[in-house]
Amino acid sequence: MSAIIDITDCPLDIAQAISHCQTPHSGAICFFVGTTRQYTEGKPSGTVVETEYLEYEAHREMAFEQLRKLVDEARLQWNLNRCVAIHRIGRVNICEPSILVAVSAPHRKAAFEACETLVDRIKKEVPIWKREFYKNQPAEWVHPVDAS
């Protein structure tokens, strides 16, 4: 299986990810793009706050190796043809992508399950940390369990 795996401070290329996942053996391509939203609910105590931007930090080598491990496990579990798992670090402005996961598989059910599971596991298991910067409140680090 061919895979693109990266931790980068560059903007994410969605078209390249989709193109990479296209194969004659794939009946389904599923992808997820996580972007910075302008408003976040529940911070603090149920209020809605306006986000200015996010910043991500990572232990690059460890994060890359963990991404590779998760992609390898997904490939085996769902018989994937291709996979992309890229996470951005540094400043990510409103509407910009911070995570991109794309998979191709012979059938849609496997592609959906693999994509969702990879996103969930990346957010929980890969050593990447997110800090949210708000308009009228102090910035705060967001724990992966709290993030959605």
User: What distance in Å separates the CA atoms of residue 68 and residue 122, rounded to the nearest whole number?
Assistant: 10
Per-residue pLDDT at 105: 98
User: What distance in Å separates the CA atoms of residue 53 and residue 68, rounded to the nearest whole number?
Assistant: 28
Per-residue pLDDT at 47: 82
Per-residue pLDDT at 148: 52
- Mean pLDDT per block of 10 residues along the chain (148 residues) reads 95 96 97 95 74 97 97 98 98 98 98 98 96 92 66
Helix axes 60-78, 108-125, angle to 10 degrees: 150
Beta-sheet pairing, 82-88 with 140-142: unpaired
pTM: 0.92
3-state secondary structure the chain: CEEEEEEECCCCCHHHHHHHHCCCCCCEEEEEEEEECCEEECCCCCCEEEEEEEEEEECHHHHHHHHHHHHHHHHHHHCCCEEEEEEECEEEEECCEEEEEEEEECCHHHHHHHHHHHHHHHHHHCCEEEEEEECCCCCEEECCCCCC
